[in-house]
Structure 1
């Protein structure tokens, strides 16, 4: 009877232990799944908001949500050159009506409206993404095919955020079906191991019952103490001591029982070891994160790191583990984060080679229900390349204030071979000035004159860049622009672009006069000519200027002087290229200073509809 009681107590303890282990692994799998998804969301949000912050620097000057073509061009440049997840991840920009503004993976989609695009399950994916964007930011989960498998659908997670001052939003997405698959496989392995363990317990317990009943009839007095001893060992195993073994050496049934118990204990230990191998997949997940991942305790002592973090800190894993994380961010005490919310910091770190490294660090705490912090997780993103890209764009924008856009882009791209080279090209030349501005400026304060000219030149420059003209120089209140160098869209298209630019400038000046409220209205005279000129870098070894020279330049300048205020006067050579696009009024030939023969001229009336 004593042995039977021992057997039942062993079986009960085993059932309780296995049930406890099942609950623990169930909770562990769910918690870890949520942690992985949370980490994916944090990474995705970090990437998108980093790009959004960069784009915001260009859209901060946008008024009434009307984005200029130059800003849109810069946004496309950023989206086309930005990536994540080892260059596999891309970004996209839509407006709230569903039109693609920029697409990092498929630029051919740009300009298309995808508002009615359905996913494989019939869901209007773009409409759901727009609904999230209208809230400012948001995550959207939907099903989509993969580029490598267009027959099946997979779960995908996207995050979007609005771009300041625009009707646009930027976003990106990642597939998350691998999370469910991986966790399901681990759950299946755990379940199989646990059920195998239960079966062994059942078989062993049944065998023990039969054996105990038989032995208790004959040897109850002899074996009661060893059975109690084995029962205690079984309790130790249930409590986690899987190395406990029976130390009984005998050739009788008691010896067989001891051997069977030890065999059971060995099998239990083996199964437990297999289950504990699940920790390896945790390590695998840590290494699957492309960015640096560091886990510390509440005292900032590093407990876990992945290889990306080792690479970022330029240290070995042994050097990192056990050290205080603040030692690896000298002078950045703000990383001592103990809140429940995610905190993001941009930090500068100096590498061993002396180079500056820009890092974005997201810090979040794993808080228990009682409010105690168990772990602090640091997600570290090396944004040095993004920062350099932002700096590069800022440099380009600054240089564009002083040099032609095309020249600046070549210099920024690394083409530094600027020499005193010349070329003969057919270009269209534009000259303009403000009629009566000199007399008006004499009656105004210098500050007022400067403010008006700055406003005027800013708007005129934006129009020049809109039509891809080369802004040569400002001369007082005059502007010189040419089309066809250093890049050309063809002589005819260059001429058409120049005329369109001139008409838009006249319209813009009408608007500016309303805002300036001057004593007299300013009007612009414009002269345009087309011809072969010498183009290149002129000057000395110390200072060069990219410009054009030749008789066609002088003709364009003289046409501007001959033009009535508020008009656009073009030469016969230019008219031959644009007559199919604009309404022209032929004027009497004019005798221009420095030109030995009368010049045929035309007044541009408007653009043909």
Structure 2
């Protein structure tokens, strides 16, 4: 099939292959950049989340040591409550002051630095907005030696009834039935993920649009004119040489052959046909003289 195609068609096929390769290159770049974006965002988010988990653990460990030291020898529950309350109530931290400590006893809240109104309430069966029994999970995490639990919880500044993702760390206070915990909202991590995702996506899409625009302009104003010039510079001389060769076969030897000074295959073919014509005329002349 390829042998039967004209030179013009072959050049157009090769040009189409080049164009297809360029398009596939751009598409490959887009896919690769999206994969790099997703991996980068995930790694960054995981790194921030792990850092916050470690921060919660350090906060609880330090406060647990302070509570233990402050209640050495104290057995009266009211006195323990007084000491805990002095150390934990109004103890806010993090830049937005959303951080606080809480103390519970098998799900019954003992001290809550963020919402004193729930102190004394049994929350063991409480679930978050997604139906997750977070209070039971916090209790189990503390009794298992300390651990993190992710759930939804009301965040100050949000609309009433609207919750945000939060992760907490709980740990038992030695020689007591209480566990201490604190948490941090992680909805900002998801928000930053979305912002980074959008920025990278916009940049990638913008680059792809520029690439397509440049490729389109280059094709119509550079590649296509160049291809047409190449086709014309080859097909027209070949057409003339074909006509000359046809005339030679019919006994016409007075054709003026051009392109003899070209250094490419067209020039070589032109010189070869001219030599053929010269040698053929000489042979014919000798034959005529010998008669």
1:158 aligns with 2:157: no
Give distance in 1, aligned partners of 2:99 and 2:182: 8
RCO comparison, higher one (Cα < 8 Å, 6+): 2
Match of 1:118 in 2: 127
Match of 1:84 in 2: 93
Taking a change above 3 Å as real, the CA distance of residues 142 and 8 of structure 1, as seen in their structure-2 partners, is: same
2:84 maps to which of 69, 75, 79 = 75
SS of residue in 2 equivalent to 1:151: coil
Taking a change above 3 Å as real, the CA distance of residues 32 and 49 of structure 1, as seen in their structure-2 partners, is: same
Offset at residue 60 of structure 1 (A): 5.0
Offset at residue 118 of structure 1 (A): 3.2
Offset at residue 32 of structure 1 (A): 0.5
SS of residue in 1 equivalent to 2:161: strand
Task: Note the alpha carbon deviations across 1:13-59, whole angstroms, 9 max, x for none.
Answer: 44444433332222111110111111221222221221111112235
Give distance in 2, aligned partners of 1:23 and 1:108: 48
Task: Note the alpha carbon deviations across 1:437-485, whole angstroms, 9 max, x for none.
Answer: xxxxxxxxxxxxxxxxxxxxxxxxxxxxxxxxxxxxxxxxxxxxxxxxx
Match of 1:48 in 2: 60
Offset at residue 166 of structure 1 (A): 0.4
Aligned length: 218
SS of residue in 2 equivalent to 1:204: helix
Match of 1:208 in 2: 218
Give distance in 2, aligned partners of 1:55 and 1:75: 7
Taking a change above 3 Å as real, the CA distance of residues 217 and 118 of structure 1, as seen in their structure-2 partners, is: closer
Contact 2:168 2:183 (C-alpha < 8 Å) held by counterparts: yes
Give distance in 2, aligned partners of 1:188 and 1:106: 36
Give distance in 2, aligned partners of 1:12 and 1:106: 58
Match of 2:111 in 1: 102
With the length of structure 2 as denominator, give the TM-score of the two structures. 0.65
Match of 2:146 in 1: 137
Taking a change above 3 Å as real, the CA distance of residues 194 and 174 of structure 1, as seen in their structure-2 partners, is: same
Match of 2:247 in 1: none
Give distance in 2, aligned partners of 1:115 and 1:18: 49
Contact 1:59 1:67 (C-alpha < 8 Å) held by counterparts: no
1:21 maps to which of 26, 33, 44 = 33
Give distance in 1, aligned partners of 2:165 and 2:109: 23
The RMSD of aligned alpha carbons is 2.8
Give distance in 1, aligned partners of 2:120 and 2:42: 43
Contact 1:120 1:145 (C-alpha < 8 Å) held by counterparts: no
Task: Note the alpha carbon deviations across 1:414-436, whole angstroms, 9 max, x for none.
Answer: xxxxxxxxxxxxxxxxxxxxxxx
Contact 2:71 2:83 (C-alpha < 8 Å) held by counterparts: no
Give distance in 2, aligned partners of 1:123 and 1:9: 51
Task: Note the alpha carbon deviations across 1:344-384, whole angstroms, 9 max, x for none.
Answer: xxxxxxxxxxxxxxxxxxxxxxxxxxxxxxxxxxxxxxxxx
Give distance in 2, aligned partners of 1:154 and 1:58: 34
Give distance in 2, aligned partners of 1:77 and 1:90: 13
Match of 2:196 in 1: 186
Contact 1:67 1:166 (C-alpha < 8 Å) held by counterparts: no
Contact 1:94 1:168 (C-alpha < 8 Å) held by counterparts: yes
Contact 2:98 2:184 (C-alpha < 8 Å) held by counterparts: no
Offset at residue 177 of structure 1 (A): 1.1
Give distance in 1, aligned partners of 2:219 and 2:36: 29
With the length of structure 1 as denominator, give the TM-score of the two structures. 0.33
Offset at residue 155 of structure 1 (A): 0.9
Return the structure number with greater strand share.
Answer: 1
Give distance in 1, aligned partners of 2:71 and 2:231: 89
Taking a change above 3 Å as real, the CA distance of residues 76 and 221 of structure 1, as seen in their structure-2 partners, is: farther
Alignment of 1:182-261 (within 5 A): 182-211=192-221, 212-219=223-230
Contact 2:98 2:156 (C-alpha < 8 Å) held by counterparts: no
Larger CA Rg, structure 1 vs 2? 2
Task: Note the alpha carbon deviations across 1:539-598, whole angstroms, 9 max, x for none.
Answer: xxxxxxxxxxxxxxxxxxxxxxxxxxxxxxxxxxxxxxxxxxxxxxxxxxxxxxxxxxxx
Contact 1:141 1:158 (C-alpha < 8 Å) held by counterparts: yes
Return the structure number with greater helix share.
Answer: 2
Give distance in 2, aligned partners of 1:171 and 1:60: 20
Match of 1:57 in 2: 69
Match of 2:246 in 1: none
Offset at residue 181 of structure 1 (A): 1.7
Offset at residue 102 of structure 1 (A): 1.4
Give distance in 1, aligned partners of 2:230 and 2:127: 77
Extract structure 1 runs of 4+ deviating beyond 6 A. none
Give distance in 2, aligned partners of 1:152 and 1:103: 20
